[in-house]
Amino acid sequence: MKIVIATSNKGKIKEFSEFFGNKVIAYSDIIEPFEIEEDGDSFASNALIKARAIYDKLGSNSIVIADDSGITVPALNNEPNIFSARYAGVGASDKENLKKLISELGKANIKKTPAYYTAAIALVCEQGEFVVHGWMHGDVIDEIKGDGGFGYDPMFIPEGHEQTLGELPKETKNDFSHRTKALRLITPIIEMVKATKVKDKMLK
Ligand code: ITT
């Protein structure tokens, strides 16, 4: 049974697939993609909103996971945080959001400052709802370096490194990223849910 990922973000789909291999499928490969209003006040609540929306469409036999994530810059009053995807306005592209963060650093006269990524991963299935978190700390800089990764990666230097995630190989990010840490936590829950489903079927 494949796990359905409730996201339209290509960067996330790529990283989920690198982590799980062919055990996952994007929801847009099964049903017509649709708009989900992310009006929660935390990463966890928005991840749950997305996972529930797809689970409701697919039915009780499915196992759905969603990711809500973003970058937080303490020196900029903790912006953009849960608004990372719409920092430059609703419907803004990754590039526009990245440039907006660079321009906010410029306005504050900051060349380099601590920042961190958060990922909340929600799992929704017949057996219940689960949410886990992962974080990655480092610095943001006031320029774009490299073109690897996605989103804010070309301006983010992870702790212990000299280069941005846009310059470092994807394997480096996948080793310790916020998303990978959260996915490592959700993996045993997925296994438990799958095993419970098999057991329930045998008892029927
Ligand atoms: P879905 O809701 O369809 O999953 P989204 O792009 O709208 O896609 P979010 O609401 O979770 O996803 O917003 C996350 C934003 O935070 C995303 O647009 C990126 O700009 C940024 N982001 C999250 N994780 C990132 C990462 O690993 N690398 C770079 N930027 C990241």
Reduced 3-state DSSP string for 135-200: EEEEEEECCCCCCCCCCCHHHEEECCCCCCCCCCCHHHHHHHCHHHHHHHHHHHHHHHHHHHHHHH
pLDDT at 9 over 80: yes
Identify the band that residue 142 occupies on the pLDDT scale cut at 50, 70 and 90. very high
Q: Which of 101, 152, 165 to mutate to test the pocket of ligand 1 (most atoms within 8 A of CB)?
A: 152
Using CA atoms, how far apart are residues 55 and 57, in angstroms rounded to an integer?
Answer: 5
Using CA atoms, how far apart are residues 160 and 120, in angstroms rounded to an integer?
Answer: 23
Arithmetic mean of pLDDT, 173-181: 97
pLDDT of residue 78: 98
| Both tokens assigned to 29 | 């490969």
What's the chain's average pLDDT?
Answer: 96
Distance 110 CA to ligand 1 centre (A): 24
pLDDT of residue 22: 87
5 in Cβ contact with 16 (< 8 Å):
yes
Q: In the block, which residue shows the tokens 């660079």?
A: 102
pLDDT of residue 148: 96
Task: Please name which of 197, 9, 182, 5 lies closest in space to residue 94, comparing C-alpha atoms.
Answer: 9
Arithmetic mean of pLDDT, 35-51: 97
Domain boundary assignment for the chain: 3-203
Active site residues: 68
Would you say the CB of residue 45 lies under 6 angstroms from ligand 1?
Answer: no
Identify the band that residue 30 occupies on the pLDDT scale cut at 50, 70 and 90. very high
Residue nearest to atom 5 of ligand 1 (CA): 9
143 in Cβ contact with 155 (< 8 Å):
yes
pLDDT at 153 over 90: yes
Arithmetic mean of pLDDT, 80-101: 97
pLDDT at 200 over 80: no
pLDDT of residue 154: 98
Q: In the block, which residue shows the tokens 């610095």?
A: 139
Arithmetic mean of pLDDT, 156-178: 97
Q: 3-203 has which CATH code? A: 3.90.950.10
